[in-house]
Structure 1
C-alpha cells in the first residue's frame, strides 16, 4: 500500500516520504477488537498532522509512523457486527495518526468502536473537509450554546480566523445567526471573511492587549479560540458577564497567564474542547448535526483537494501559517 512514511534514524534525524509498504504492517497495529480494515478514499490536513509528519515528539512517540487523523473510506474487512464490507465510514480522532498508524495510507486497521457510518447527506470529500476541524468547530459552537450564548447575547469572536477549525466555526456561527467578529493575522483575507458573513474583521495586533490589567471592557458574549497564548488571555479579560470561551488551540502558545477575576467577577466559562477522545454518543450526535441542521452551504468553497504527492509541500504551508480553508487529500 502507498503511504506517507515517517522514520527516525539512529542519529535522531527524522525523514518522511511517500513509499510502498506491505499491508502486513497493519496487522499488529490494533490490539483492541473487534477491528475493521478500511480502504481510505480521502483524508485531510490538520496542524496536528503536520507536526506528526515532522516527527514532533509531542505527537509521535514511536517510529516509523504514518500521520493522518481523519479518514473517509469503505470497510473491506470487519470483525465488528456493526459494519459490513462495503459500508462507508468516517474515522476521526481517538489515536488515529498519533500512536496508531494514520490515514495518509491506502488502508487503515482500527477498532470498530472508532468508526462512524458516513451520513447519506455527506460525500467523502465533504466529510473530510469537515474532519476533525469541523468536528472540533461543532463542539465549540455546541459548547457556547450549552453555556447560554445565543445570537441575542451579543457578538462572538473567532480567532485564527482563516485556519481550518476557525473557518468552519465561522460558517456554523453565521448559519445559526450569530454576529461574528473574526481575528486574523492575514490582512489579505479580510475581504473574503466579510463576504462569508463576518460582521467585523480585526487584525491580530489590533485585538491582542499587552497590558497587565486583570480586566478590560466587557465586549463579547463568547468566543471560539483556536490560538491560545496572549489571544486567549485577551479574550478572558474582554468577555462579558456569563459569557463563554471555547478553547481548542495553541498555535499562539501553550502558556496562559491570567487571574481569577474573569471567573469570579464576570462568571465566565472557559470551555475546553477535546476532540480526539470525545465519547461515541456525543461523536454521533455531532456528525448528525453536521450532516443535518448544521450542514454548511459554503463547505465546497472552503475546500481544496490535493493528491498525496503534494503532502510534503502542504505540510510546509500549514506549519508556516499560510494555509487557508480546508485541505482534503485524495488517497
Structure 2
C-alpha cells in the first residue's frame, strides 16, 4: 500500500503523542474527493491538539491540522474534478476526521470551497481558519449595522492570527480600529496593519462593571472570559461584539445590563460547521478586502517537520500573525 508523510496523533497511557511519520493510505477515512495537499497553516486549535493541552482530538489515530489548500486528484463528487484548486477548513478535520498535516487528504466534496481567482494556495493558508473566522466576524458586524460611521471598533488578541487579519480588513474598509494586545512591543506592527490606536489588554482585564464608559461601536474578540465581559460593558448603545475565541477561558463573567440597557448584541462566530454559502461569501470578501501586501507582512513560513516545535509557541502567545506550513 502507498504511504505518505503526515503528523499523526496517537493515544498514550498519559495523554497523547504526536510525530511526523508515514501514514498508510488504506487508513484514510471515507470521502468522495481526494486532494494533494500543498499548504496548511497553524491555528490555536492545532496547537491544542498537537500538545494535548485540550481534548481536541476525539478519534485515534488522527492526522492533525484543521486547514488545507491543494489540488483535487480524484473525485466522485459532481462539483469537483481532478485539477481543481480547493480550500478546506473546519468540518472536524484534525478532530474527528483525518486532517491537513499530510501530503494527502480525503474529504467530503460538500466541505470544499473553490480557491478564489487571483488567490494562491499559499495565500489561502496564510488566511486559514483564523483569517476566515475574522472575516465571518466582520460580516456579522456589518449585518448588525456596525459601519465605519458608527464609531470605533476594537479587536482583542490583536497580534494573533484572527486579530491581525481582522485589523487589516477593518482598516481597509474604513473603520477606526482600536487594537488590544498584551504585547505592546507589537504596537508598530499593529499600526502597520491599520490600527489607529493600540491599548494594553490590562485595560480589559479588571473586574467587569455591569456598564462601563461607552468606548466602541463594535468589536472582534478572540479572547473571551473577562476580556469579553469588559468589551460588552464598554460597547456603545446599539453596538455589537463578535465573539470567536476562548484563549482566556470559556466563562463569561458579565451581566444582562449591556443587553437590556444599551441594546448591545453578542454575535457568536462559528467557523467549523459554517454553511458552504456563508463560506463562499467570506472567501470572496477575503479576496477583495484583504490587502495581499498586508497578508504577506503578517505571514511567515515553516516546513511540515517544524510544526511540532511551533505548536507550543502559539499557545504561549509567542506567534505573531499567521504561520503557513509548506507540505512537501
1:226 aligns with 2:199: no
Q: Where in structure 1 are there 5+ consecutive unaligned residues? A: none
3-state secondary structure, aligned to 2:228? helix
> What's 1:6 paired with?
9
| Aligned partners of 1:6 and 1:54 also within 8 Å | no
Q: How far did 1:118 drift? A: 0.9
| Aligned partners of 2:40 and 2:65 also within 8 Å | yes
| Aligned partners of 2:34 and 2:72 also within 8 Å | yes
> What's 1:147 paired with?
144
Q: How far did 1:179 drift? A: 0.3
3-state secondary structure, aligned to 1:198? coil
Mapped to 2, the partners of 1:244 and 1:272 lie a distance apart of 10
| Aligned partners of 2:68 and 2:89 also within 8 Å | yes
Mapped to 1, the partners of 2:291 and 2:266 lie a distance apart of 26
Report the TM-score when normalising by structure 2: 0.96
Q: Kindly tell me: are residues 296 and 266 of structure 1, through their superposed partners in 2, closer, same or farther at Cα, counting changes over 3 Å?
A: farther
Mapped to 2, the partners of 1:53 and 1:118 lie a distance apart of 27
Superposed, which structure 2 residues align to 1:47-58 within 5 Å?
47-56=44-53, 58=55
Q: How far did 1:196 drift? A: 2.2
Q: Where in structure 2 are there 5+ consecutive unaligned residues? A: none
Q: How far did 1:56 drift? A: 4.7
Superposed, which structure 2 residues align to 1:93-104 within 5 Å?
93-104=90-101
> What's 2:256 paired with?
260
Mapped to 2, the partners of 1:292 and 1:156 lie a distance apart of 21
> What's 2:199 paired with?
202
User: Could you report, residue by residue, the CA deviation over 1:105-164 in whole angstroms, capped at 9, with x for unpaired residues?
Assistant: 110000000111111210011000111111100000111111111101110000000000
Mapped to 2, the partners of 1:66 and 1:328 lie a distance apart of 17
User: Could you report, residue by residue, the CA deviation over 1:291-311 in whole angstroms, capped at 9, with x for unpaired residues?
Assistant: 234554411111111101111
Superposed, which structure 2 residues align to 1:84-163 within 5 Å?
84-163=81-160
1:330 aligns with 2:299: no
| Aligned partners of 2:168 and 2:291 also within 8 Å | no
3-state secondary structure, aligned to 1:181? strand
- Number of matched pairs: 324
User: Could you report, residue by residue, the CA deviation over 1:230-275 in whole angstroms, capped at 9, with x for unpaired residues?
Assistant: 1001011000000000000000111011111100110010000000
> What's 1:24 paired with?
26
1:248 aligns with 2:244: yes
3-state secondary structure, aligned to 1:292? helix
1:79 aligns with 2:81: no
Q: Kindly tell me: are residues 295 and 79 of structure 1, through their superposed partners in 2, closer, same or farther at Cα, counting changes over 3 Å?
A: farther
> What's 1:299 paired with?
295
1:279 aligns with 2:272: no
The root-mean-square deviation of aligned C-alpha atoms, in Å, is 1.3
1:164 aligns with 2:166: no
Report the TM-score when normalising by structure 1: 0.95
Which runs of 4 or more aligned residues in structure 1 lie more than 4 Å from their structure 2 counterparts after TM superposition? 293-296
User: Could you report, residue by residue, the CA deviation over 1:61-119 in whole angstroms, capped at 9, with x for unpaired residues?
Assistant: 12211111110000111011211111111111111111001000110000000111111
| Aligned partners of 1:171 and 1:298 also within 8 Å | yes
Mapped to 1, the partners of 2:255 and 2:204 lie a distance apart of 19
Mapped to 1, the partners of 2:191 and 2:78 lie a distance apart of 48
